[in-house]
Amino acid sequence: MLKTLFSFDYSAHARFVAPARERSELWRLIVGLALATAVIMLCSPLLWQFLSYVMSEEGHQALYDDFETFLLPQSTLVLLYSFGLVWIAVAAVVIVLHLRRPETLIGSPTIAFLQAKFVVVALLLVSAALIVLPPYRFEPALVPGLSFARWAGFLLPALVAVFIQTSAEEVLFRGYIQQQLAARFNSPFVWMITPSLLFGLAHYAPQSYGSNAWLVVIWATVFGVLAADLTARSGTLGPAIAMHFVNNIAALLVIAPQGEMSGLALFHYPFDASDEAAVRALLPIDFAMMLVTWLAARLALRR
């Protein structure tokens, strides 16, 4: 089992990358990323325009006022759903610039779904074990977030929103960028590390994390490498999306730091992201959990 668990047989990755090989010029990737960014920037104001038509003036103003802190569940939902623009932009780029179908960014949809299901089950079992095993309380003690009734009311749209957000990020970084680089370069150091570094830098937020900002970048980069490994091992985006999805459910819907992006959480840590000492103390635990979930996902994919 250990030999299978730590196998780095990436033969399935060749099938995943195959649709990108015909038009794998670097200029297409660079232009594609620029076009995707332009589409997102052009469409974002349209989203706000749409909300202004379907919402009351008071509700729209409340969202607008909260759009820097995301303390309201509604504004957090809008942010997460807005990642659908990433899906639309990348799909458009693939169709227009690479002349291939958007579903090729995922791999075989049937296999991706089955692999994702196995990984989600494995990660839920790991989470259940962590709840059952000691220690039986969080240190420092958690504080309540949303009431359970209100949290349950938001749960279904929040799960859909988190899925849209996590799948969009995986489609961009592990789908489009990883595929295009792997179609051009054989070295895993290029097609694993480059998208992961970009993913990490996308999480650079010194205004939120202070001196921990680069530690968060390192955390996200390592997460990106592990997601790239799952993608190369499985030949689809299913496992990476599943790992990302379960991780973000825990971080956004179950327990979140107080303050920014805490609007949908059932519980809060007794500190916010700007508490540098508290966040720094939590990061090693997050790193350990990330490795455990990656190993559990790999175990679910053994063959």
Between CA 296 and CA 302, with CA 298 as vertex, the angle to 5 degrees is 115
Please give the model's pTM, rounded to 2 decimal places: 0.93
pLDDT at site 8: 76
Q: Token pair of 252, please?
A: 């956004």
What span, in angstroms and rounded, lies between the C-alpha atoms of 239 and 154?
Answer: 26
What span, in angstroms and rounded, lies between the C-alpha atoms of 21 and 183?
Answer: 5
What span, in angstroms and rounded, lies between the C-alpha atoms of 200 and 228?
Answer: 13
**Residue boundaries of the structural domains of the chain:** 2-300
What span, in angstroms and rounded, lies between the C-alpha atoms of 134 and 131?
Answer: 8
Share of the chain above pLDDT 90, in %: 74
Lowest mean pLDDT among 132-136, 198-202, 214-218: 132-136
Under DSSP, the state recorded for 69 is T
pLDDT, average across residues 277-290: 91
Residue indicated by tokens 């990656």: 294
CA atoms within 13 A on the CB side of 223: 32
Nearest residue to 205 (alpha-carbon basis) of 261, 277, 269: 261
pLDDT at site 136: 57
3-state secondary structure of 258: strand
Under DSSP, the state recorded for 141 is P
Give the model's confidence band at 118: pLDDT under 50 very low, under 70 low, under 90 confident, else very high. Answer: very high
- Helix H segments across 133-175? 148-170
Q: Token pair of 202, please?
A: 């996308």
3-state secondary structure of 270: strand
Which residues does residue 282 pair with via DSSP β-bridges, in sequence order?
A: none
What span, in angstroms and rounded, lies between the C-alpha atoms of 111 and 53?
Answer: 40
pLDDT, average across residues 204-214: 92
Strand 143-144 and strand 267-272: the pairing is antiparallel
